[in-house]
A and B are shown apart, each in its own frame.
Chain A
């Protein structure tokens, strides 16, 4: 039942609104609304009960194992939330003067410095609001760099066929053409094919490492050399930074510009879709183009760097300073972990992934890249099961929900047929991983003995499989009363 359907005309949650009754005398009639918006009229308790009950229909990290590949669904420390929500932080207006911002700016400055060290980049700007906006910023910087050198015939960005959809979409938003490069049978990109497409039209390449197929790109130094030789720059999609934190740094691999997903690696909450934060880091030659605002130190004070003192910046991407509250949460997490904690993130996320991969392949599942180590995630392909049993990846995913597990990422990357991208993260215990193996094994048996049961899953959730075709055909996007 929708909140609108619990509404009754004249019912109010009056304690919420100001008691002050004011008139609108200064607002000429011509500008006024003639009819009140049709919003629910409900009591405070009805609201609390309604949204509490809705929340209980969600799977979440706090309630379920959530091995959604590429999304790093690890535990989000409660301390990050409560400390970022201290009254002083919540009350600060984004345009408060620097004299009343030193505490907040100090946190941002420290975070910039820590991210520089963790990634091996020369400078960092925190302002992009999510990974995709970081990608946009990064590619815009690549473009600004070429433009500043008068090198403006470069109109192409290279993207592996396994790349996340935001990569090509971001390149296009920056005015580039996108050319895909194939992935080889071992999961590394096809270097011969890359050589064939590099040229004077190449502005840059966007890579994820470990890649979206869950393996480390072993020839990365060679790739960097080739791209640089052709005059292009290397972009690092930091979605998988969790796998290598404290082990190997994008700056040392030869990347010129990177984004990080703090909502993944730095454990800020995913909030049912967001917010995130996608800070960007650059090598020295791209430093002038970083998006504003940034925080700098001037003697003992922190100061803002804006369009006024950074003329070559690609500019501003949101009205204020990006997702400040997310940045604070990431900062708190980073201080809790410290240097050693960061190494452990990579170690234990990798341990968990390799353990789970081994147990699942022992249980009869096929790894997409059996000859490779898993990074912090790995891919299974259910091609064989789909062919032999008529039960596909989506069926497995839906049946997992009945076992109380959020499904892994399905059908991404697109190049592996019937794939599940599984990312357990470092915060899961061995017993939870074992339970996942048991669930997968049970579903496999079911697929052999009673395939219909799997194909018609889920059975025990608030709804059964939903009609997506109908949703897109008979659009119902808002309650009409």
Chain B
């Protein structure tokens, strides 16, 4: 029996001790009428070899195309040691470190993670993960509404230049608590949050302003001005940041005069494979003042009975298992293993390695943009400086271009036309350090072919360039 160690003799001996004639008797408290029969629609079990065959076919089916999509999930190199260590059984098959003395490995690692995240973001404290970047932002919004003592408002300013999926997730998670999200427009020329769009809300009561760095278009926001504006208007400043970008970008703790109050984001670039969108992890750091409003697990360093240093879950009075309906969040199981990988990843790379990765991504996206912009009708949409993604305008419908490219096994970027129809035929492209010059040339030449094919059949062409 797969994974079940009992021999027939064991079963009989155990039943004899229980005093039951057979296993079925052990279910005698379940009303007979409720019992189900065979689970007919579930197939019969397979051997490991057979399941292996099935999964190999399916994994190969998706073809590993050349990927220039970023849009919240980035293809970075993950050092071999990261997952070899993270999948050690002692990490992989432990659970939440409730028994601190038997979990010092996980606990110390998490303390190190908190230390790395506070260093990267230059904030005082970090939790040990939320589900993903988008749900972390939803938690940050809830936290801001609870924490902002200067404001009674349940309204939040959220830029339209923020990842569309993040805006949707925040909406789904906070709407039932009567929190209202007010969208800030972006400047069509720079791609940054529009200062005029912001000014119309000056003096109004909002709990927080959300500031993405970089924003969904890859464009860098004027974070100092935005942070100061938020504080001048009694709002908390909530940063949404890419951790790899933070290796080279001004950290949220230093934005403006006082720094951001809360920083959150997607941890995936720190050692999690793309893997169809998860598991990744959300991170959240904040100022010391807000620590008691934080959601999620927090680890503290303390002493044992002999005065020896050790680590333990702390500030648990914020959490659901103690506070129940008054907890700061309902989160229990988090993304611990991804945090394990991220901590090992950051240790291996160090600040300098992360800076190198960030610079390589920045340079490669620059090369990609340059190569593609040489094609007829292709040009950057925004003037603002970018980190490692940029919006390009195409001379044909984005959907058609991407479909043709995909047929050539190139994933050419994220189609912006559904989320941002005002941008026309626009695509968001990204080249991480993983994309070589040859990869970029492949993309260029294939897009050239696609464009040429369209130009020869001009009836399908939209004359918007």
Contacts and interface: CB of A to CB of B under 8 A. Distances in A.
Interface string A370-385: 0011000000000000
30 contacts: A32-B248, A37-B116, A39-B354, A54-B109, A55-B85, A63-B89, A79-B52, A90-B275, A95-B71, A100-B406, A135-B330, A248-B30, A248-B36, A272-B92, A273-B335, A274-B129, A274-B338, A318-B134, A321-B277, A336-B47, A336-B51, A338-B46, A347-B26, A397-B99, A401-B101, A429-B10, A430-B14, A463-B309, A466-B302, A475-B315
A66 to B, nearest CB: 8
Instruction: List the 3 closest A-B pairs by CB distance, nearest first.
Output: A320-B277, A338-B45, A62-B89
Given A117-B42, A247-B27, A475-B314, A89 B276 contact: yes
A52 B306 CA distance: 25
A91 B414 contact: no
Nearest to B130: A129
Nearest to A411: B321
B181 interface: no
Given A40-B350, A319-B277, 17 more contacts: A3-B112, A16-B349, A20-B360, A24-B248, A47-B347, A47-B348, A92-B62, A130-B331, A164-B321, A218-B31, A248-B34, A261-B333, A271-B92, A272-B109, A321-B277, A350-B26, A465-B101
A32 B254 CA distance: 11
A272 B62 contact: no
**Which residue of B28, B119, B178, B329 has the most chain A CB atoms within 10 A of its CB atom?**
B119
A120 B114 CA distance: 42
A51 B250 contact: no
Contact of B333 (A94, A263, A338): A263
B251 A33 contact: yes
B166 interface: yes
Given A62-B92, A326-B279, A273 B297 contact: yes
Interface stretch (A170-178, A194-202, A280-288): A170-178
A252 B88 CA distance: 40
Contacts of B302: 466-468, 470-471, 474, 476
B360 to A, nearest CB: 5
Interface string A118-138: 101000000001111101100
Contacts of B169: 315-319
Contact of B275 (A92, A117, A118): A92
Nearest to A36: B351
Contacts of B234: none
B247 A169 contact: no
Contact of A3 (B48, B88, B347): B347
A28 interface: yes
A168 B325 contact: yes
B285 to A, nearest CB: 9
Contacts of A422: none
Interface string A11-36: 01111111011111011101111101
Contacts of A317: 131, 135, 169, 172-173
A13 B172 contact: no
A324 B46 CA distance: 22
B261 interface: no
A359 B17 contact: yes
B9 to A, nearest CB: 9
Interface in B200-233: 220, 223-224
B45 A275 contact: no
A271 B94 CA distance: 6
A221 B34 CA distance: 9
A267 to B, nearest CB: 8
B197 interface: no
A2 B108 contact: yes
Nearest to A83: B55
B436 to A, nearest CB: 10
A283 to B, nearest CB: 16
A408 B132 CA distance: 30
B461 interface: no
Interface in A250-304: 252-253, 261, 263, 267, 269-276, 291
B5 A471 contact: no
A26 B248 CA distance: 12
B453 interface: no
A272 B14 contact: no
Nearest to B14: A355
B79 to A, nearest CB: 4
Contacts of B47: 336
Interface stretch (A101-109, A227-235, A444-452): A101-109
A84 B275 CA distance: 9
Interface string B268-287: 00000111111101000000
Nearest to B43: A338
B28 A427 contact: no
B30 A22 contact: no
B26 A373 contact: yes
A274 B331 CA distance: 11
A40 B172 contact: no
Contacts of B351: 36-39, 41
B402 interface: yes
A271 B340 contact: yes
Nearest to A29: B250
B69 A351 contact: no
Contacts of B100: 463, 466
B172 A17 contact: no
A458 interface: yes
B102 A478 contact: no
Interface string A52-68: 11111111111110101
Nearest to A72: B95
A171 B330 CA distance: 9
Contacts of B54: 335
A214 B176 CA distance: 32
Nearest to A209: B30
Interface in A292-345: 307-308, 314-326, 332, 334-344
Contact of B73 (A87, A93, A165): A93
Nearest to B77: A18
B249 interface: yes
A375 to B, nearest CB: 9
A361 B397 CA distance: 72
Interface string B366-391: 10000000000000000001110000
B248 A33 contact: yes
A24 to B, nearest CB: 5
B174 to A, nearest CB: 9
